[in-house]
DNA sequence: CTAGCCTTGAGA
DNA sequence: TCTCAAGGCTAG
């Protein structure tokens, strides 16, 4: 039977990714997984896995290992008790109200996301912000005011960072079993309310006017936050690396503040790659897709890292660096070529600060940015799209729980994300000018990623896009 | 054994 | 009466 209820129709089967045909045994699945689950339970089948009980289950390989397929059915939340012991056909079971709630929730979420997107597309303020791009953007080579302490070397540094491809695992992680594949396993409320598949009570979604900060949040948000590195550890790590660079290169003349900033950005990019590499969902992607995603969004993530630090820990009027040091914003902004960028960045920080965006929301936004299904030639496009949808859904549910404004906060965050992307494009432009002026230290990840992105945009083959390619500058 | 299609029947 | 999630059937 075709699934004809509108909402959720585009969602893939959480077990194998095939087309969903309706609610079966607790959640939306495809016809084949429904049949497989029924046969297994009715006939009390016992399977064994010839491998390590972590076989990939997708449309093409679902027949290979029934053990792992059944494990995945249970993992995503299919209900044994929905298979009737008496085998009586027809009628309705006790899950009816649960399906109804889930459908309503999905529809609500879809409508809210669409409404938010519509607002973004039609927002005149955003249109103008993109048009405000500084066409007279100068490529001035004046040094950016330096930090208050620890001036560090940048010119002439024999800096040899690993390439992006060497930071990512060379083998395909695709063989790993998906660990958390469907939003269904935490959006469906169990019949009795206290034993939903992953602990999230969908009734909370309907009491969105109550301030629920501090109460249970969507499990996916918890998962996203768990992937985030500890700020203090990150600070220590990057400071140590930069100090090492400094001692290695003390003999190479006067330090350039811009070069120093590049090194800092470079180190931050390493930490971003490390974050992505070890994050839920991302580690399940093939290396080619991982590289394409990172090549596409590195500058957004880098800027998001800077901005989230200002919002969460920063002080007004100063720029808090990843090393914990502070710079006077007026000093930074006085530098030719970045004034517009700094001002808009500061406005964005202020907006996010006013609405008190928290770690949880930044964690979701990072996943929304990383899992961009618009990136060209992705192998696992459907999975990437579903992760972005799940991240958007998690953010929406979180904002519904924490804000009294149903759509306002979520829409506002997406608007800010749009502004972030616009700003990061501007920052790339600035970096490109600096690069042409020979001011960006060579052999750094920043430049590798920058060139990779240029290659993507022009659709020209770029060696940096190759999984095992190195830096060719 | 799989998976697409068919039949059934309680509840809205 | 209609819906749709159960179980059943069967070709491949």
The domain that holds A233 is classified in CATH as 1.10.565.10
A313 labeled binding residue: no
What's the pTM? 0.57
Number of domains in chain A: 2
Distance CA A99 to C1' C1 in A:
22
Nearest nucleotide, CA A4 to C1'? C4
Return mean pLDDT, chain A. 71
Distance CA A197 to C1' C8 in A:
29
Write the pLDDT tens digit of every residue in A3-60.
Answer: 444 433 467 899 999 999 999 999 999 999 999 999 999 999 999 999 988 898 999 9
C-alpha span between A19 and A448 (Å, rounded): 39
Distance CA A77 to C1' C2 in A:
29
Query: Which 3 state secondary structure label does DSSP give A206?
Result: helix
Angle formed by the axes of helices A408-436 and A339-354, to 10°? 160
| Residues A102 and A229 occupy one common structural domain | no
Distance CA A375 to C1' C12 in A:
39
Distance CA A41 to C1' C4 in A:
21
A432 labeled binding residue: no
| Residues A102 and A238 occupy one common structural domain | no
Write the pLDDT tens digit of every residue in A311-332.
Answer: 998 888 888 988 888 888 877 7
Nearest nucleotide, CA A5 to C1'? C4
Query: Is residue A189 in some structural domain?
Result: no
Question: Which of A's residues 85-144 have CB atoms within 7 A of nucleic strand B?
Answer: 88-92, 96-97
| Residues A325 and A450 occupy one common structural domain | yes
| Residues A102 and A232 occupy one common structural domain | no
Measuring alpha carbon to C1', the residue closest to nucleotide B10 is A91
Distance CA A339 to C1' B5 in A:
66
C-alpha span between A115 and A329 (Å, rounded): 36
The pair of structure tokens assigned to A87 is 């085998």
Contacts of A251 (CB under 8 A, 6+ apart): none
Mark the nucleotides of strand B covered by protein, meaning any atom under 7 Å from a CB: 1-12
What is the DSSP annotation of A319-347? EE-TTS-EEEHHHHHTSTTTHHHHHHHHH
Whether residue A358 has pLDDT greater than 60: yes
What is the DSSP annotation of A155-177? TT----PPPHHHHS-SS-GGGSP
Measuring alpha carbon to C1', the residue closest to nucleotide B3 is A32
Nearest nucleotide, CA A16 to C1'? B3
Most trustworthy range by pLDDT among A177-186, A377-386, A438-447:
A377-386
pLDDT at A367: 95
Nearest nucleotide, CA A65 to C1'? B1
Distance CA A20 to C1' C9 in A:
21
Whether residue A190 has pLDDT greater than 50: no
Query: Is residue A248 in some structural domain?
Result: yes
Distance CA A28 to C1' C8 in A:
21
Closest by alpha carbon to A15, among A64, A75, A63?
Answer: A75
Give A110 or A262, the one with higher predicted confidence.
A262
pLDDT at A284: 83
pLDDT at A402: 75
pLDDT at A301: 96
φ, ψ of residue A161 to 5 degrees: the values are: -75, 160
Q: What is the mean pLDDT of residues A415-421?
A: 91
Query: Is residue A242 in some structural domain?
Result: yes
Give A455 or A408, the one with higher predicted confidence.
A408
| Residues A81 and A223 occupy one common structural domain | no
Q: Using alpha carbons only, give the angle A381, A115, A420 rounded to the nearest 5 degrees.
A: 65
Mark the nucleotides of strand C covered by protein, meaning any atom under 7 Å from a CB: 4-9
Query: Is residue A211 in some structural domain?
Result: no
Question: Which of A's residues 61-80 have CB atoms within 7 A of nucleic strand B?
Answer: 62-63, 66
Domain that holds residue A231: 219-454
The CATH code of the domain that includes A59 is 3.30.50.10
Q: Report how far apart, in Å, the C-alpha atoms of A454 and of each of A138, A158, A258, A354, A448 are.
A: 20, 25, 22, 35, 10
A134-143, A194-203, A220-229, A371-380: least confidently modelled range? A134-143
Give A338 or A307, the one with higher predicted confidence.
A307
Query: Is residue A16 in some structural domain?
Result: yes
Most trustworthy range by pLDDT among A100-109, A265-274, A366-375:
A366-375
Distance CA A178 to C1' B4 in A:
26
Measuring alpha carbon to C1', the residue closest to nucleotide B5 is A1
Which residues surround strand C, with CB < 7 Å? Answer: A 1, 3-5, 22-26, 35, 38, 42, 82-84, 87-93, 95-96, 99
Query: Is residue A65 in some structural domain?
Result: yes
Nucleic strand B within 7 A of Cβ A45: yes
Query: Is residue A168 in some structural domain?
Result: no
Q: Which of A76, A106, A136 is the last residue of a domain?
A: A106
What's the pLDDT band for A157 if we cut at 50, 70, 90? very low
State what percent of residues in chain A have pLDDT above 90: 23
Closest by alpha carbon to A359, among A225, A232, A235, A230?
Answer: A225
| Residues A367 and A240 occupy one common structural domain | yes
Query: Is residue A153 in some structural domain?
Result: no
Give A225 or A1, the one with higher predicted confidence.
A225
């Amino acid at each position: 039977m075709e699934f004809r209820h509108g909402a959720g129709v585009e969602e893939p089967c959480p077990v194998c990714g095939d087309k969903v045909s309706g609610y079966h045994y607790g959640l939306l699945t495809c016809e084949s997984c429904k049949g497989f689950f029924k046969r297994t339970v009715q006939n009390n089948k016992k399977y064994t896995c010839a491998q390590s009980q972590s076989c990939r289950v997708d449309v093409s390989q679902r027949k290979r290992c029934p053990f792992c397929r059944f494990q995945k059915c249970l993992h995503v939340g299919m209900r044994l008790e929905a298979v009737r012991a008496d085998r009586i056909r027809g009628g309705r079971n006790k899950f009816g109200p649960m399906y109804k709630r889930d459908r309503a929730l999905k529809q609500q979420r879809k409508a809210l996301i669409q409404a938010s997107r519509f607002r973004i597309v039609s927002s005149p303020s955003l249109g103008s912000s993109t048009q405000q791009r500084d066409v007279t953007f100068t490529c001035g080579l004046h040094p950016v005011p330096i930090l208050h302490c620890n001036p560090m070397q940048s010119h002439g540094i024999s800096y040899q960072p690993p390439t992006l491809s060497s930071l990512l695992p060379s083998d395909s992680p695709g063989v790993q079993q998906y660990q958390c594949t469907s939003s269904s396993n935490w959006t469906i409320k169990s019949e009795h309310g206290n034993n939903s598949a992953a602990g999230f009570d969908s009734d909370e979604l309907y009491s969105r006017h109550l301030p629920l900060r501090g109460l249970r949040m969507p499990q996916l948000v918890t998962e996203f936050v768990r992937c985030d590195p500890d700020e203090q550890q990150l600070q220590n790590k990057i400071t140590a690396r930069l100090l090492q660079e400094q001692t290695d290169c003390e003999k190479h003349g006067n330090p350039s503040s811009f070069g120093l900033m590049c090194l800092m950005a470079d180190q931050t990019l390493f930490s971003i790659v490390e974050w992505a590499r070890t994050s839920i969902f991302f580690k399940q992607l093939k290396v080619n897709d991982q590289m394409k995603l990172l090549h596409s969004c590195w500058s957004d993530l880098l800027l998001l890292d800077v901005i989230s630090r200002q919002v969460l820990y920063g002080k007004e009027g100063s720029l808090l660096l990843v090393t914990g040091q502070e710079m006077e914003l007026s000093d930074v902004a006085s530098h030719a070529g970045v004034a517009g960028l700094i001002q808009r960045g500061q406005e964005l920080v202020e907006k996010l600060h006013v609405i008190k965006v928290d770690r949880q929301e930044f964690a979701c936004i990072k996943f929304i940015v990383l899992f961009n299904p618009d990136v060209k030639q992705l192998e696992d496009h459907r999975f990437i799209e579903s992760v972005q949808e799940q991240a958007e859904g998690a953010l929406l549910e979180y904002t519904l729980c924490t804000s009294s404004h149903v759509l306002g906060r979520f829409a506002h965050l997406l608007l800010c994300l749009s502004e972030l992307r616009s700003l990061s494009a501007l920052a790339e432009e600035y970096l490109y000018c600096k690069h042409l002026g020979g001011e960006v230290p060579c052999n750094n990840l920043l430049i590798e990623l920058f060139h990779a992105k240029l290659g993507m945009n022009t659709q020209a083959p770029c060696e940096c896009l190759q999984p095992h390619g190195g830096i060719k500058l």
